[in-house]
Chains A and B, each alone.
Chain A
Amino acid sequence: IAGITQAPTSQILAAGRRMTLRCTQDMRHNAMYWYRQDLGLGLRLIHYSNTAGTTGKGEVPDGYSVSRANTDDFPLTLASAVPSQTSVYFCASSEGRFTDTQYFGPGTRLTVL
């Protein structure tokens, strides 16, 4: 079982370019999440989806968009990248209850120049 896969592993991107980070899970989990990790700030929630077809905004949603067309995939799009979006991005999934464990992907390291 692969769990959660993320692509690409790392990327260097010019400011102003559009970028989509991919996330796929094979656990048939209802809920999926995108976090960004920055030094000294821990992980912060960007967007979430409690079930296929629904999405919601997290703590830091500006400049990002998501879609959840099916259970397995939850892509994150940066419409026009800015240097402040340089970060490590983690996708996670869970069965969707408040007590459930979240399972994390290996992350995407994004550098915006």
Chain B
Amino acid sequence: AQSVTQLGSHVSVSEGALVLLRCNYSSSVPPYLFWYVQYPNQGLQLLLKYTTGATLVKGINGFEAEFKKSETSFHLTKPSAHMSDAAEYFCAVSLDTGRRALTFGSGTRLQVQP
């Protein structure tokens, strides 16, 4: 069975600082990896995803993530945090099985301090 671990349920950074949100996965087959963002009282929207090909994936709002198979990681980064980045971020994995659904991590709430 696959699983997703997000280290740190809360991360606080200063505006303009680097954002690093960690995600590790376990899977016996090649995974497809996703990062979603949830703003307060809203549904989830896709930030970026890795399926095949280039391991460095760029997403919306200046975020990017790198798939590292040897480390089973898919950490999310942004060089300079903005106040509008404050939200909850979820890492998720999709496997080539009949269910075709996502398995989510527990989420990381990002706070951006002025």
A residues sitting closer than 8 Å to B (CB atoms) are 4, 31, 33, 35, 40-45, 48, 50, 56, 58, 90, 92, 94, 96-99, 101-102, 104-107
B97 to chain A, nearest CB (A): 8
Contact B43 A104 (CB under 8 A): yes
User: Number of B interface residues, CB 8 Å?
Assistant: 28
5 CB < 8 A contacts A-B = A33-B102, A35-B104, A42-B105, A48-B100, A102-B102
Contact A98:B43 (CB < 8 A) given known A31-B100, A33-B101, A48-B100: no
A92 surroundings in chain B (CB, below 8 A): 44
Contact B94 A98 (CB under 8 A): yes
B99 surroundings in chain A (CB, below 8 A): 45, 48, 56, 58
A5 to chain B, nearest CB (A): 11
Contact B106 A40 (CB under 8 A): yes
C-alpha spacing A41/B49, complex, angstroms:
21
Residues 56-79 of B at the A interface (beta carbon under 8 Å): none
Residues 79-109 of B at the A interface (beta carbon under 8 Å): 90, 94-107
Given contacts A48-B99, A99-B51, 17 further A-B contacts (CB under 8 A): A40-B107, A41-B106, A42-B6, A43-B44, A45-B99, A45-B101, A45-B103, A48-B100, A56-B98, A98-B32, A98-B94, A98-B96, A98-B97, A101-B46, A104-B36, A104-B45, A107-B42
